[in-house]
Amino acid sequence: MTTLLLPQLNHINKPLLISNQHHRKPYRSPVISAVSGKQLVTSGEVRAVEPREAKTLVSSEGYVLLDVRPAWEREKAHVKGSLHVPLFVEDPDNGPITLLKKWIHLGYIGLWTGQRFTMFNDEFTLHVVEAFPDKKSKVLVACGEGLRSLMAISKLHREGYKSLGWLTGGFNRATEGDFSEIEGPEELRFATIGGASYYFLKLLVLLQSFGKENR
C-alpha cells in the first residue's frame, strides 16, 4: 500500500503578522487659530481704554500710544509723542487687475470717504518688535474708528505681547483735552474722514455753529 505524503499546513493556523507601518496615521501639526481682537477685549486679556482715560495711562502707567492708521490720516492729526506703525499701506501695484480694483474702490468708497486702496503692511509686526523688543511693554493701540486697532491687537497678542490696551472707538471719539498735545492741521476726531464726506461734515459743523449763534 502506497502512503501519500501531504504538505504540512501548520502555517495556516499561525496569526498573520502585518506591519503596523501601513496603518499609522500621518502626523498633522496642530492648528493654531489667532484669537480675534474683539475676543481679547471681551475676555479682559486686552484692556479697553476710553479716550478720556488715555492721557492718564500714558503719563502715569507707562503705556506707549501706538498709532496704526495709514500715513495720510496721521498727517492730518496725531498725538504728539505717539509711535506710528501703519497696519495698512497704500497698494503700489499698477497691474491691470489692481487698477480695476482701484477704480471700483474709488467709485464705491474712495470718492466719499477719501480712503485709498490699501494692503496689509507685511512689516507691521517687525517694526513693532523693533520698537518694543520687550514683550512685557505696555502698548495702547489706536486707530481712527477702532476696527483696525482690533486687528493689530490680534497680531501683537499672537506675537507674545500681553500688556496691550485698546482705544475704544478710536480717535473718532476723542474730544478736546483727552490727549496732552495734538499735531496737525485737523481735529483728531476728524482725521479719518476724507473725500466728499469731509466737506459734508464741514458743512454740518458750519450750520451747527450758525444755529447756535442765532439762538
> Which amino acids are annotated catalytic?
143
Other CB atoms within 10 Å distance of the CB of residue 92:
7
**C-beta separation of 77 from 176 below 8 A:** no
The letter for the amino acid at 179 is: F
Q: How many residues does the chain have?
A: 215
Other CB atoms within 10 Å distance of the CB of residue 115:
21
Kindly tell me the sign of the dihedral angle through the C-alpha atoms of 125, 129, 135, 140.
Answer: negative
